[in-house]
Chains A and B, each alone.
Chain A
């Protein structure tokens, strides 16, 4: 067994950006271990996607094509990739940690008696082996993992952990791989993806966002934060639990399953900073965090921080903003 196989994701005729991050992780393992790198895309009729893949530094590209792979299903992807992995016998299989990968990769790994080392934020060579870094407790702790034994080793990488910009260009041949599939082995029937009714607030274009998390404790405390948002002339937004509880509408949720925002100012109040939240607001120009826990992961992306009790700080801040504005 040798080599690294990266599985890329695409939708609607375009690659998912995280695919290139996974490929960057693959290139890193390839150069550290001196092993060949290949990459695969899965679907039906992938000719159009081949060109971009061929322009990357890799030893070989594969189009895993079958009419039954036109729409994503876990069964279809597991069966098709199981056959490709058996043919190539790679030492590492690297995937982007997308929702789709979460859906099929653990099952694929289990077919080989392996578990997926999921959502990696880093890796490094150590002796003959690798150390893989992932987060525990929603980003509060890190852990070094080892995968000492049998192969292949299945890895998925967290959004933003590897730089797509660092990808090396090259030229590779991309060949077709036709897996054997039959319709009866695909048990689920997917409909076309859809969005809920049109959004009435566009957080994406708001210059100032005041975002509130579970630190607020109760719905009755929300007006305190709304007042601050009003004083700043900003939109109010929230982490997922606030919207799950129905305290604010879903359309105000920031994160991987909500909105992606990039305001001039993002003020995070009582938000811990789990990765699924961070991916939605990391692009903000300035991030301010108010949190009582000095080790909260939100401080990892904050330009300014106040460590303390939001119930003391928020009202004081509203006052100070009003004063500065002469209101």
Chain B
């Protein structure tokens, strides 16, 4: 089974985010980056499927040069090769623009299964995978918690709201968007890290891909949310703050 996994590089969690001078995006200069969390689970699922059914896992990333770090980590964990669509203009694209590039770069790969994360931690659009499936003309399912592959088809477990689930069966090729927590993530081994250096990374220049139409939606301004709620902030040393909070819990909230 040939599996492509779309991985996005996002600022590390708990980054100190600052808005850039234009007010259109964040200042990227001092940030560190890591793999988008659900994409790490998508990669893990791909590796497990390969271990069970054989085949190949190809990591796919669109982004600037710094993305090669995330690609290397995916290769070290066990992806067989990677495709890096090199571009610096991600922030100016909308989902169709990004999905168009991803689709163009993999259309000749004839993958059986394409996995993406269900949502990116930075933009949080939750739709690149679904749109990619549409562009490729293949069926999809979202928020997936389990994958069972048979020959020519797959059965997946979708997460619904409030603790409900549903099994769905569909023919291959198909695209799935993977939810965090689908399995336990592996670490790269020393051996894996060594091997990664010899694995193929196909670099595709965005300029060589067919150009998508101009973005239909644009970000006009990025800003800190205004506080709407009056939160009583309790200050002092940890001990003082704890004592004050206990007072409130006792006399105002009345739970002690």
Whether a CB of chain B sits under 8 angstroms from the CB of A300 is: yes
Residue of A nearest to B166 (CB): A193
Q: Are the CB atoms of A320 and B245 closer together than 8 Å?
A: yes
Question: Min CB distance, A274 to chain B, in Å?
Answer: 9
Q: Is B239 an interface residue (CB 8 A)?
A: yes
Most buried by A among B19, B161, B250: B161
Q: Which of B26, B160, B167 contacts A141 (CB 8 A)?
A: B26
Binds A, one of B58-66, B68-76, B194-202, B220-228: B220-228
Kindly report which residue of chain A lies nearest to residue B246, judged by CB atoms.
A320
Determine how close the nearest CB of chain A comes to the CB of B115; give it in whole angstroms. 16
Smallest CB separation, A217 vs chain B (Å): 11
Q: Is the CB of B143 within 8 A of A324?
A: no
Residues of B within 8 A of A87 (CB): none
Q: Are A194 and B121 in contact, with the CB atoms below 8 A?
A: no
Interface window among A29-37, A170-178, A307-315: A307-315
Of B14, B94, B165, the residue contacting A196 (CB under 8 A) is B165
B144: shortest Cβ distance to chain A, in Å? 11
* CB contact under 8 A between A297 and B225, given known A102-B127, A191-B166: yes
> What is the CA–CA distance of A214 and B255 in the complex, to the nearest angstrom?
26
Does chain B have a CB within 8 A of A190? yes
How many residues in A have their beta carbons less than 8 Å from beta carbons of B? 93
- B residues 117-174 touching A (CB-CB < 8 Å): 118, 121-127, 130-131, 133-135, 139-143, 158-171
Partner of A149, one of B171, B216, B228, B245: B216
> Across the interface, do B232 and A303 meet the contact criterion of CB distance under 8 Å?
yes
Q: Is A301 an interface residue (CB 8 A)?
A: yes
Within the complex, the shortest CB–CB distance from B125 to chain A, in Å, comes to: 6
A189 and B169 contacting across the interface, CB-CB below 8 Å: yes
Residue A56 at the chain B interface, CB threshold 8 Å: no
Residue A50, interface by CB 8 Å: no
A258 to B239: give the CA distance in the assembly, Å. 33
CB distance from B154 to the nearest CB of A (A): 10
- Please tell me if B213 contacts chain A, counting CB pairs below 8 Å: yes
Q: Are A188 and B126 interface neighbours, CB within 8 A?
A: no
Instruction: List residues of chain A with CB under 8 Å of any chain B CB.
Output: 74-75, 98-99, 102-107, 109-111, 113-119, 131, 134-150, 187-196, 207-208, 214, 232, 240-241, 243-246, 256-260, 264-265, 285-286, 288-289, 293, 295, 297, 299-309, 312-313, 316-317, 319-321, 323-325
A-B pairs with lowest CB-CB distance, top 8: A244-B181, A106-B127, A316-B242, A312-B238, A106-B130, A187-B139, A188-B170, A317-B242
